Amino acid sequence: MSVVAAFAVPHPPLIVPGVGHGRERDVAATVAAYEEVARRVADLAPDTLVISSPHTTSYLDYLHISPGPGARGDFADFGDRADGSEVIYDEEFVRELASAAEAVGIPAGTRGERDARLDWGVLVPLHFIQARCRGFRVVRMGLAGFSPLEHYRLGTLVQQTAARLGRRVVYVASGDLSHKLAADGPYGFVPDGPVFDEAVCDALSTGDFLSLLAMDPGLCERAAECGLRSFQIMAGALDGTPVRAELLSHEGPFGVGYGVAAFTPCGPEGSDPARRFEAAYRELHERQLAETRSREDAYVQLARASLESHVRDGRQLELPADLPPELTRRRAGAFVSLKKDGRLRGCIGTIAPTRTSLAEEIAANAVSAGCHDPRFSPVTADELPELVYDVDVLGEPEPVADRSQLDPARYGVIVSTPDGRRGLLLPALDGVDTVDEQLQIAARKGGISLGEKDVRLERFEVVRHL
């Protein structure tokens, strides 16, 4: 057995007494569960502790593994310089893991570390574990903007690397649950916050890792979670392994969900084919994409056809002759948004019409969203089947006197200044729940400070086609 146990844990710094100054007593269940995790890790005496954290160096297109002989860190950013940790990295494990990832085409490795210090997503687990045991080496990993499957596959490589090197490995998946559980919490409340926590806790308590992979991306965004991808790597580290799953605690008194779960192998690795979730997830994911595509209306079909023609054939789409009249006879501004694995992959649009018909507007903006959004690299032909499209047709913008006339669920917003700077945000976006959030994002996109003089606000409605 190479991966001898795995644990999903939260990382609130306030459960460290030097940070919490007594507030840790309000999350006593989490502290007690952490103490139990530390006791179990000590009993297992691992050679290597593999920790994934959402606060370690992370990129959209690269899974970062910390390089070098070791690192240290403390809680100085939280007012506590006295508490911290120092670790020695398992450099051989890191090299083998990075090499294995390269061999199977997963972009992962040690390049691009921005800050070598241990982050609090690692420091909090180490605070408890190192109080009970030392002598192990550490592998520290970040997360990426990849699909659940790519994170899971990296976890399977952790398992394989541990077996190849003969390491006794404990996997620690650091991550909080929803950050929107309470109106008086730091991030506010949305109904999807408790829904997300319940779904994840059900999966952790039963060991249903397929549910962790198949979680609705929109729900995750609205709940403002940070730990799911960490848990997905952990699931891969237990690929094919029968486990005893235990939810040791779950609470959220400060408006953020803290869950602690333990997974103890109860049979040899690879002995339970039903717990190899890659094929099951692929089948489920492909079925969901097919269902989404079957529901696309003429607006979305046009956007898809236009981008696919440009990417695959390098040519501009000839508009179909059977388009509905509202596409060929009407002019309007339109935005085309692309998502891949639930994450934005491109979004470009026009506030007012710039072409002779709405159909031409959508076709052109689809190509721009896929190939000319400066935030992303151009879409490749391999990505086309994975894309999900939204087409928003904009109504006429109207000025508003103040933010009381805005509603992020109903209205998009335009923030502009007399010198021509302008930022726009569409309505009904996952994770944008308040007028303040909507205005801040729109202003930032336009390079505008909301405190500037003569900032102008406009609102508009859209018809969204999915």
> Would you state the structure tokens that stand for residue 427, as one six-digit string?
């309505």
| Domain match, 319 and 212 both | no
Burial 10-23 (b: 16+ CB within 10 A, else e): bbbbbbbebbbeee
| Domain match, 9 and 147 both | yes
pLDDT, one tens digit per residue, over 129-173 is 999 999 999 999 999 999 999 999 999 999 999 999 999 999 999
- Does some domain include residue 376? yes
Find tokens 């894309």 and name the residue.
387
| Domain match, 352 and 400 both | no
- Does some domain include residue 445? yes
Residue-wise DSSP of 404-432: GG--TTT-EEEEE-TTS-EEEE-SS-TT-
CATH code at position 436: 3.30.1490.150
Give bridge partners of residue 463 from the DSSP assignment. 393
- Does some domain include residue 280? no
Give bridge partners of residue 436 from the DSSP assignment. none
> Would you state the structure tokens that stand for residue 226, as one six-digit string?
């940070």
- Does some domain include residue 227? yes
pLDDT, one tens digit per residue, over 216-269 is 999 999 999 999 999 999 999 999 999 999 999 999 999 999 999 999 999 999
| Domain match, 230 and 377 both | no
Q: What percent of the chain has pLDDT over 70?
A: 100
Give CA–CA dist 7/247, Å, rounded: 10
Of 328, 357, 387, the last residue of a domain is 387
pLDDT, one tens digit per residue, over 276-306 is 999 999 999 999 999 999 999 999 999 999 9
Give bridge partners of residue 70 from the DSSP assignment. 88
- Number of domains within the chain: 3
| Domain match, 399 and 380 both | no
| Domain match, 175 and 39 both | yes
- Helix orientation angle between 91-103 and 148-165, rounded to the nearest 10 degrees: 130
Indicate whether 27 pLDDT > 70: yes
> Would you state the structure tokens that stand for residue 182, as one six-digit string?
């309470």
| Domain match, 259 and 324 both | no
Q: Domain range spanning residue 253?
A: 3-274
pLDDT, one tens digit per residue, over 354-363 is 999 999 999 9
pLDDT, one tens digit per residue, over 67-104 is 999 999 999 999 999 999 999 999 999 999 999 999 99
Give CA–CA dist 299/384, Å, rounded: 17
> Looking at residue 280, what is its pLDDT?
96
Nearest partner of 87 among 112, 113, 122, 52, judged by Cα:
122
Nearest partner of 68 among 138, 126, 119, 154, judged by Cα:
138
Indicate whether 270 pLDDT > 90: no
> Would you state the structure tokens that stand for residue 440, as one six-digit string?
């801040």
| Domain match, 258 and 300 both | no
DSSP three-state, residue 441:
helix
